[in-house]
Amino acid sequence: MVLDVWFTEKHEDKQGISLKVSGILYSGQSKFQKIDVIETEAYGRVLLLDGLVMTTEKDEFFYHEMISHIPLLAHPNPERVLIIGGGDGGTIRETLKHPSVKKIELCEIDGDVIDVSKQYLPSIACKMDDPKVETHIKDAVEYIKDKKNCFDAVLIDSTDPLGPGVGLFTEEFYTNVQDSLRENGVMAAQTESPIACRKEFKLINKLLNGVFSVVKPYFAPVPTYPGSYWSWTFCSKVTQPEIYDENTAIEVEKSTKYYNREIHRAVFAVPNYVKNLITRSQTAK
Amino acid sequence: MVLDVWFTEKHEDKQGISLKVSGILYSGQSKFQKIDVIETEAYGRVLLLDGLVMTTEKDEFFYHEMISHIPLLAHPNPERVLIIGGGDGGTIRETLKHPSVKKIELCEIDGDVIDVSKQYLPSIACKMDDPKVETHIKDAVEYIKDKKNCFDAVLIDSTDPLGPGVGLFTEEFYTNVQDSLRENGVMAAQTESPIACRKEFKLINKLLNGVFSVVKPYFAPVPTYPGSYWSWTFCSKVTQPEIYDENTAIEVEKSTKYYNREIHRAVFAVPNYVKNLITRSQTAK
């Protein structure tokens, strides 16, 4: 008989996602957070940071394709990319599908996340040692400060606005990110669930609107995240995200599971209740 | 101290959605199924049939707006509508927002679902006694058999393909639905999750493709359903769902929470992995 063991991630002590667990592959405490990898029947291996699902083998494609291809295809020729957080390597793997990219800097605060991902999540972390990748085990809040006018794209693949990730959700940080971008530069950040994390979604949207001229949230499912309905936000000084490089998109969509050009056009549709959240957050400035 | 009570709906004994419960408002056994209404902190009141979440006060709008407005706006002038299942009344409430609709027939097999919904879910069941609504407590499999060329829209708001809903997922039933439609008639059905219920999604898609000329799945979140990423499928003999009545859409979107014209254009984008599922199911015919 198989042991009936379940992991439940509870969100705000009101709702949760439960996964049947067939094994605990790794449990450790880094300098910053608790790191676990569990084996589940529904989603394969799952990386947990401080007990929260960060990524799973079977649904990571939604998240990683959204945070990378939407902003990178909106840029006419992204060469230099900064990924903040992203220690599991999924965003690196997707970013490398863009032939124009010459260099990826990964700024991850917790080196243990990288090591654990390389060992236990090879399908996600498979490209972390690519020669185009330069890894910095540093706090991005500090790392970004002296980077001026140098990136074509900054992808903020962070944890939630608590624990080691909290400094990545401030006006000062977003201002530094904007200053780090070249003229046509683009930024995309994970910006929480518009259903389970409405407060955080509103707050981040308000902060981004205070810094960037172009601020466009976009939406897709991530089944193992709270609410399972997730948002990212595209920001830039001038570049619009709905216009993408058609030829590169055709190439990219050959190896994606979620992304394609139809999806690119669709993800920016904003539901009525989300429009109300955003309008209220903007007028509350 | 508040009692720490949780309900978990387990899907295929692999994954689940957990909700903190503050009260059990109703528990009964109808002729067909177990019916419960629980009070939850995250989603308000929740209707359960045989222990599975059917609808919740706080996220029902995703589901009910999708199953009604997409097909009804694709029809130039829907007057006579058949709703199959739908005993909670949410689809009736949304359908009545279309001024052209003269008569709604509700064919629900279980009268207890209607009674319980009227008593415990007034925000959803609020329009069930509207004079345009004619309620039939009958098995839709039988009800549809002698209805020929009479409906402008049939909305299949069914449970999952198990228990009393199983007969609503057959080629014979779908053929009868097609025969019940007028020439421009449209049909929409809930067609399970393209992530958590891939097998069912594929099977239903294959069945529908065997019957209807126009078969177009569409997608939206339903946070409290398995996988939280849901599908409906639009079918017709000739009518295309992407073309909608602009003036009616403008009116409808004034009172919707999810639906608007941007969303209407977006929901038909099919992710790459879902295209693969559908292609395989079609070639397997």
What is B47-100 written as a DSSP string?
EEETTEEEEETTTHHHHHHHHHHHHHHHSSS--EEEEEE-TTSHHHHHHTTSTT
Residue B175 lies in a domain: yes
Per-residue pLDDT band for A282 (boundaries 50, 70, 90) equals low
Residue A44 shares a structural domain with residue A138: no
Nearest chain B alpha carbon to A267? B266
Rounded CA-CA distance A150/B182 in Å is 61
User: What is the mean pLDDT of the segment spanning A248-274?
Assistant: 97
- The reply to whether A111 falls in a domain is yes
How far is the CA of A30 from the CAs of A38, A89, A110, A140, A157, in angstroms?
A: 17, 18, 7, 18, 19
Using the beta-carbon criterion (under 8 Å), do A15 and B10 form an inter-chain contact? Answer: no
DSSP codes joined into one string, chain B: -----EEEEEETTTEEEEEEEEEEEEEEE-SS-EEEEEEETTTEEEEEETTEEEEETTTHHHHHHHHHHHHHHHSSS--EEEEEE-TTSHHHHHHTTSTT--EEEEEES-HHHHHHHHHH-HHHHTTTT-TTEEEEES-HHHHGGG--S-EEEEEEE---SSGGGGGGSSHHHHHHHHHHEEEEEEEEEE---TTT-HHHHHHHHHHHHHH-SEEEEEEEE-TTSTTSEEEEEEEESS--TT---HHHHHHHTTS-SS--HHHHHHTT---HHHHHHHHHHHHT-
User: Is residue A60's pLDDT more than 80?
Assistant: yes
Q: Do A263 and B269 touch (CB under 8 A)?
A: yes
At residue A244, the pLDDT reads 92
Question: Do residues A12 and A121 share a domain?
Answer: no
* B129-167 pLDDT tens trace: 999 999 999 999 999 999 999 999 999 999 888 777 788
pLDDT in tens, A85-107: 999 999 999 999 999 999 999 99
Tell whether the model's pLDDT for residue A148 goes beyond 90: yes
Does the pLDDT of residue A46 top 80, yes or no? yes
Q: Please check the confidence at residue A284 and state whether its pLDDT lies above 50.
A: no
Mean pLDDT score, A226-241: 95
Quote the number of domains for chain B.
Answer: 2
* Predicted pLDDT at B163: 72
Q: What pLDDT sits at residue A279?
A: 82
Q: Chain B 236-265, CB below 8 Å of chain A: which residues?
A: 253, 256-260, 262-263, 265
Question: For residue A229, which of A15, A71, A21 has the smallest C-alpha distance?
Answer: A15
Closest partner residue to A272 among B20, B257, B273, by Cβ? B257
pTM score, whole prediction: 0.95
Q: For chain B, give the longest Cα–Cα distance.
A: 61
Other CB atoms within 10 Å distance of the CB of residue A249: 18
Domain range for residue A11? 6-55
**Mean pLDDT in residue range B5-21:** 94
Nearest CA among B118, B146, B97 for reference residue B26 = B118
Residue A21 pLDDT more than 50? Answer: yes
Say yes or no: B96 and B203 in one domain.
yes
Residue of B3, B5, B10, B18 to mutate when probing chain A, most A C-beta within 10 A: B18
Residue B57 confidence (pLDDT):
98
The domain that contains B230 carries what CATH number? 3.40.50.150
B218, B202, B208: which is closest to B278 by C-alpha?
A: B202
Question: In the predicted model, is pLDDT for residue B116 greater than 90?
Answer: yes
Same domain for A91 and A38: no
The amino acid sitting at A83 is: I
Same structural domain for residues A84 and A51? Answer: no
Instruction: With beta carbons under 8 A apart, name residues in chain B contacting A229.
Output: 221, 223, 228-229
A241 and A183 in a common domain: yes
CB contact under 8 A, A14 and B8: no
The answer to whether residue B1 is domain-embedded is: no
What pLDDT is attached to residue B167? 82
Residue B75 has pLDDT above 80, yes or no: yes
Strand pairing partners for B16?
A: A18, B10
From chain B residues 143-202, the ones with a CB under 8 A of any chain A CB are 195-196
Q: Is residue B123 part of a domain?
A: yes
Q: What's the rounded Cα separation, in Å, for the pair B245 and B261?
A: 10
User: Least CB-CB distance to B15: which of A11, A42, A229?
Assistant: A42
| B148 located within any domain | yes
Query: Of A19, A34, A55, which marks where a domain is finished?
Result: A55
Q: What pLDDT is attached to residue B282?
A: 60
Would you call B16 and A17 a contact, using CB atoms and an 8 Å cutoff? yes
Each residue's pLDDT tens digit, B238-277: 999 999 989 999 999 999 999 999 999 999 999 999 999 9
Please report which confidence band the pLDDT of residue A283 belongs to, taking 50, 70 and 90 as the band edges: low
Query: Is A176 among the domain residues?
Result: yes
Query: Is A17 within 8 Å of B20 when comparing Cβ atoms?
Result: no
How far is B182 from B171, CA to CA, in rounded Å? Answer: 19
Are A32 and A158 contained in the same domain? no
Q: Any idea what DSSP says for residue A89?
A: S
Confidence of residue B1 (pLDDT cuts 50, 70, 90): low
Q: Indicate if A76 and A215 belong to the same structural domain.
A: yes
Alpha-carbon gap, residue B57 to B88, rounded angstroms: 11
Across the interface, whether the CB atoms of B10 and A18 are under 8 A apart is answered yes
**pLDDT, chain B, mean:** 94
Same domain, A46 and A91: no
CB A102 within 8 A of CB A130: no
Residue B284's pLDDT is 45
Residue B49 forms part of a structural domain: yes
Mutate to test the interface with B, among A229, A273, A278 (most CBs of B within 10 A): A229
Selected catalytic residue, list B157, B160, B179, B245: B157
Instruction: Please indicate, yes or no, if residue A1 is contained in any of the structural domains.
Output: no
- Please state the ipTM of this predicted complex: 0.94
The model's pLDDT over B210-226, given as tens digits with 9 standing for 90+, comes to 999 999 999 999 999 99
Between B45 and A243, residue with greater pLDDT: B45
The CATH number assigned to the domain holding B14 equals 2.30.140.10
Averaged pLDDT of chain A: 94
Active site (annotated) includes residue B129: no
pLDDT higher than 80, residue B120: yes
A220 and A175 in a common domain:
yes
pLDDT at position B121 over 50:
yes
Same domain? A132 vs A27: no
Q: CB-based contact (8 Å) between A77 and chain B?
A: no
Q: Could you tell me if B66 and B47 lie in one domain?
A: no
